[in-house]
A and B are shown apart, each in its own frame.
Chain A
Amino acid sequence: MLKKTLLTLLAVLMTANVALAGKTIVIAHDATWPPMEFVNKDKQIVGYSVDYTDAIAKELGLTIEHKNVAWDGIFAGLANDKYDMISSSVSITEERKAKYDFSEPYFEVKQAVMLPVASEAKSLADLKGKTIGGQIGTTGVFVAKKDGGVTPKEFDEVGHAVEALYTGRIDAAICDDVTAYDYVLNNEKYAGKLKVAFIVESDQKEYYGFVVKKGNKELVDLLNKGIKAIQEKGIEKALREKWVGK
């Protein structure tokens, strides 16, 4: 009996790994990062990355499924095969590249610091000794930590950091520029109260990429093919106008 169970289990495990073709590709998003991926009033996961992956799937004839996952542990879930890829505004960094594989970049971002409108700080140096909030494990927090002069405070979600800034618990908040602009321009509550004060200058350009498990070359190739097709057909430009503006 035990032998039989083990054999069945083994068979299931082996078939689970076989080929992506025909299989649904499950995409994990941390849907708390407007306008890239967030949950709208109709409880749907929407945003630039969501439309982007949908467009790729349409181009290549893939079936995909979107899944909302908490950011803290999103990489662990990929390593444990809970889903096939992450599309969650993940910036391509050397540390992450060492552990996971990335697709070609599909979006460029910079780190933006949000402050109350009345504040006059113009750089991280002006915020010396102040607390700066960000989402745990994001490039924004890494930048804040690297600087050394400010005290980083790592929240579960970027929205919590923005709320903490709004209520005055922290002195500044840091995140990707598109998201920061979305909070200060499109969010009714924060518009006029908070501002994007400055962009943290960096010698290295920062890009988003789709993340897959190390060694999943098949999926990376597929994604790169899709990204290329979308860029060439001008779909990327249309999506940019729809979600980001400019």
Chain B
Amino acid sequence: MTVEKKEIRIAVTDGMLIPSSKDKTLVSAWMISLCIAIGSILYLCISQPQPYYEILKFLPDGILVTFQVTITSILVTIPIGLITGLGRLSKNKVINLIASTYVEIIRGIPLLVQLFFLYYALGKFIQLSDLASAVIAMSVCYGAYMGEVFRAGIDAIDKGQTEAARSLGFNSRQTMMLVVLPQAWRTILPPVGNEFIALLKDSSLISVLAVSELFRRGREYASVTFEYFEAYLMVALIYLCITLLLSKAVSIMEAKLNYYDEQ
């Protein structure tokens, strides 16, 4: 037995084996929700192809745009959040002040207002494409929230870790990159996943920029056929499916990180 266990340990530290979740229960809330969402879509489309299947056929390009905006925004948000978080912790007063001001201002203005401002008000001075305005507004807004998450996560790491690293001869950049951040990532990941899901859902707000994302596609359908209930039900179910998949992705990442704790 002991020998076997040792082998697994070596494999894991080499990064060969994807650790499975410790949770061995067959039914999880996540699974039930996904089954309800997919089951409802299938049931509706099969039992009433008119209008549900028609709506489903109308939405794919909208789903694609929602994905595009969300994924690009997430990728842009992470570095913004990291820089802001580190800036907020910086001992350099100027950097600290810039980062803090950014967080205070952006966090205080609703995303919808920011979108209108960037698209209609600033349109007078700079012309950005629809998708670019959407991505910029989303990532600037969520970067501020993410900055706070990063700051809290980094702050939560015991000071002793930094002291130990410094006394071993690491410089401050090495300490942050090699010692503090890898540990902080574990605390940061759950709230970051939360922000990702919120970002995905808030991408529906960019429909005010006349960008044909998922929600706007549903509205366009309803505006012609007046089938409001059917169209918005379908849109809601599709959003649910996407967010559930995203939350699963985050929880898999969490399980990977926490695996080492449970040894």
Contact = CB atoms under 8 A, between A and B. Distances in A.
A164 B220 contact: no
A137 B212 CA distance: 14
Interface in A108-131: none
B210 A155 contact: yes
A99 B216 CA distance: 22
B127 interface: yes
B120 A136 contact: no
A153 B216 CA distance: 11
A137 to B, nearest CB: 3
A137 B224 contact: yes
Q: How big is chain A's contact interface, by range? A: 20 to 34
A161 B123 CA distance: 13
Contacts, number: 51
A95 B212 CA distance: 23
Contacts of A79: 226, 228
B220 A167 contact: no
Contact of A167 (B127, B208, B225, B228): B127
B51 to A, nearest CB: 13
A99 B226 CA distance: 8
B223 A72 contact: yes
Given A73-B228, A154-B220, A167 B123 contact: yes
B127 A136 contact: no
B123 A136 contact: no
A101 to B, nearest CB: 13
Counting from the closest, the 8 A-B pairs by CB-CB distance are: A137-B223, A167-B123, A76-B228, A155-B210, A99-B226, A153-B210, A136-B223, A75-B226
29 contacts: A72-B223, A73-B228, A76-B222, A76-B228, A79-B228, A95-B226, A96-B226, A133-B210, A136-B219, A136-B220, A137-B220, A137-B222, A142-B224, A154-B210, A154-B212, A154-B216, A154-B219, A155-B210, A156-B210, A160-B120, A160-B208, A161-B210, A163-B120, A164-B120, A164-B123, A167-B123, A167-B124, A168-B127, A169-B127
